[in-house]
Amino acid sequence: MKRRSNLRVETFATARKVLLETFQTGPRAVGVEYENAAGQVVQVKASKEVIVSAGALHSPQLLMLSGIGPSHHLKNLNVDVVSDLPVGEGLMDHPDVLGVQYKCGPPLCVHDWETREEDLRQYNSSREGALAAANMLQLMAFLRSHKARPWTGHQPDLQLIFLGNTQTEVITPSCLLMDSWRLNRVIVLVSLMRPESRGWVRLNASDPHAAPLVKLNYFGDDQGHDLDTVVEGLQFALRLEAPLRKTGLSLDKTNNPQCARFPMGSDGFLRCLARTSTVTAWHWSGTCRMGRANDPRAVVDSQLRVRGVSGLRVVDASVMPYITSGNTNAPTIMLAEVAADLIKRAQS
């Protein structure tokens, strides 16, 4: 790739806005304005198209900074409105509940790195052994709960991931759990695959350096379907106590003091657990939704072209109308491959 004469990668740069011009046929994207590493504002012109691939949080931010988004919101920030579209609405994610923990000890779980010198030596010499394992994803399960909607077919609506404690140095800084994470534990993470709650992304200011406002709105659906589904997943994780006990694991009944007022395993306890131990899966999507011309929620069409603005496409997970029933990485790669074919076909 680095030998391609038509490719230039600008690092440590911040995109400020998409450059738009108005023609008789309507607005058209003609380039991008960005700030380079030296703080200089640079404009680059596009001979064919501008493609926005900044992710489900920053693609809507960039579009709104360019005047493409909800008109009332843009006017409040004194941003000139070019196209009134529901940019930033419909934010989806897979809420991860880090609630059910099982205690374990040597040799099954060893968190004391001083006792793992042999594992370290083996990994350093051959890249094999216990430390070569992807502890976060070694064991998982996809489930279809009793709360699953009929229109989802046979798709799972829950994912259970078993986290070994050698991953906690990576995860702990980003979650709400307490010191027990630094002990010998196996955590059964319950992830909601088909959330009905929707959040949003909005501009915090018209300054491109200002982080956008983000509302994930976990468990915010009117019917409480999302929370009910997660509770069923947590119940399943608790039912694993008997078989896991045979392997040397035991249920940790003290891991969340915030929920201690509820009996362990009760409906109130599990709902409290979900509300106090949920973190993001970093699977943000849906904020530049793809849809038909008569869909008031749609930002891009089936060719990923921004509605009402020519020469501009969005290619990332923000265009997903519904989040996938699993990790979003591979589907996003697939989406990019399809987008490449669409662009080549349009230019041929």
DSSP 82: S
Q: Would residue 283 show up in a list of annotated catalytic residues for this protein?
A: yes
Report pLDDT for 171: 46
Kindly indicate the confidence band of residue 2, based on its pLDDT and cuts at 50, 70 and 90: confident
Q: How many CB atoms lie within 10 A of CB 205?
A: 13
Q: Which tens digit of pLDDT belongs to each residue from 141-186?
A: 999 999 999 988 899 999 999 887 654 444 444 444 545 455 677 8
CB within 8 A of 330, min separation 6: which ones? none
Q: Which tens digit of pLDDT belongs to each residue from 56-100?
A: 999 999 999 999 999 999 999 999 999 999 999 999 999 999 878
Q: Are 95 and 157 in contact (CB under 8 A)?
A: no
What does the pLDDT average to over 103-111?
71
Report pLDDT for 133: 72
Report pLDDT for 305: 98
Q: Which tens digit of pLDDT belongs to each residue from 9-20?
A: 999 999 999 999
Catalytic residue among 94, 111, 225, 283: 283
313 pLDDT higher than 90: yes
Whole-structure pTM value: 0.90
Q: Which tens digit of pLDDT belongs to each residue from 205-254?
A: 999 999 999 999 999 999 999 999 999 999 999 999 999 999 888 998 87
Q: How would you write 266-289 as a 3-class SS string?
A: CHHHHHHHHHHCEECCCCCECCCC
Q: Are 287 and 57 in contact (CB under 8 A)?
A: yes
Report pLDDT for 6: 85
- Please give the mean pLDDT across all residues of the chain: 90
In the chain, pLDDT over 90 holds for what percent of residues? Answer: 72
In the chain, pLDDT over 70 holds for what percent of residues? Answer: 90
Residues 273, 192: Cα–Cα separation, whole Å? 14
